[in-house]
Structure 1
Amino acid sequence: MPFASRQSIPPSGCRKPDDTWSNWEGRFIMDLASEKARLLQRDAEWAAAAYEGRDLERVLSYWTDDAVVFVPGLPPVAGKEALRQYVQGSMQIPGFRISWTSTAVTLSPDGNLAYMFSQNAVTMNGPDGTPATTEGRGVTIWRRESDGEWRCAVDIWNSQV
């Protein structure tokens, strides 16, 4: 009976039609640099959508259905419906803008979780109508969903004041 030895299968793996990689045992292997770049790009797209503050559904689409957001000074905001109310309320605050830049993606060994650190700024009008900005830092935990897309599962930040 013919068989293939370990030596006859490239140790670097085999590319599948769906552009994933597997090793000789059939285990999933990913290109870490590409996956990190993909996640940073997705986060940058989310930040742009949030900054524009016009498309509620687009902003919400970057969170998992069971996401939890830890907002400074408030109870945790858990689940898509609670997030919808929170984001919609934020978008209605005069002068509200949020921006962030994330760096240093770290992936779990199985490639299904990741976390990133960020620097952020939240702006809204003060009582006299003058914009006031608070700078902060944050951590997001991302999960690869069953559709293969990365979505944020945990989002926490605080101010640097």
Structure 2
Amino acid sequence: MRTRFQVFGLALIMILGCNPYEDSPERKQWLAEIKTVEQEFNAMARDSGLARAFGYYATDNAVLQREERFIKGRDSIIAYYERNSSPDMNLNWEPSYVDVSDDGTLGYTYGKFKFTMIDTTGSERTQSGVFHTVWKRQDDGTWRYVWD
């Protein structure tokens, strides 16, 4: 009986010690690429404006959800931000979680954002929340968002 418990215990340790979900080198690379693209996207939004950044990183058929409505397509996204942003607006975000599909074609991120603007009275207004972005690898290997 004691031998059976020892064998069972050893088998349990071996099973639990194996990590079937260890990331492959490719998966680690894809995760790093998506995290880097998020950082570059955030930097472009800060340095070049929201319209340029959201237009640049969108696929042609990307969708945003803003103000309880959908904004569909890159051109509509650019037009939305051209109408609804100004130089005194600042949007910063950082993903707290990044994941990618096993084949490296789709990924997603989520984390916190902080939106700051100066209102008409000169007072700074801040809004914070959670973002979720879905990324798709393009034929040229770049990542572009399909949902934000």
1:129 counterpart = 2:111: no
Would the alpha carbon gap of residues 69 and 38 (structure 1) be closer, same or farther in structure 2, given more than 3 Å must change? Answer: same
Residue of structure 1 aligned with 2:60, choices 65, 73, 85: 65
- Residue 140 (structure 1) shift: 0.3
Secondary structure in 2 matching 1:32? helix
Q: Which residue of 2 aligns with 1:19?
A: none
1:66-81 counterparts in 2 under 5 A? 66-71=61-66, 73-81=67-75
User: Which structure: larger Rg?
Assistant: 2
SS state at 1:35 partner: helix
Matches within 5 A, 1:29-40: 31-40=26-35
1:59-102 CA distances to partner (integer Å, 9 max, x unpaired)? 4111111000011x24111101111111222333x621111001
Aligned residues between the structures: 125
Q: Which runs of 5+ in 1 are unaligned?
A: 1-28, 156-161
Do the aligned partners of 1:95 and 1:131 also contact (CA within 8 Å) in 2?
no
1:111 maps to 2:104: yes
Q: CA deviation at 1:124?
A: 1.5
For 1:51 and 1:40, the matched residues in 2 are separated by: 17
Return the TM-score normalized by structure 1: 0.70
Give the structure-2-normalised TM-score: 0.76
Equivalent residue for 1:140?
133
RMSD of aligned C-alpha atoms? 1.9
Pick aligned residue for 1:46 from 31, 41, 47: 41
**Which structure carries more helix by proportion?**
2
**8 Å Cα contact 1:40-1:103 kept in structure 2:** no
* Percent of residue pairs identical: 26
1:148 deviation in Å? 1.3
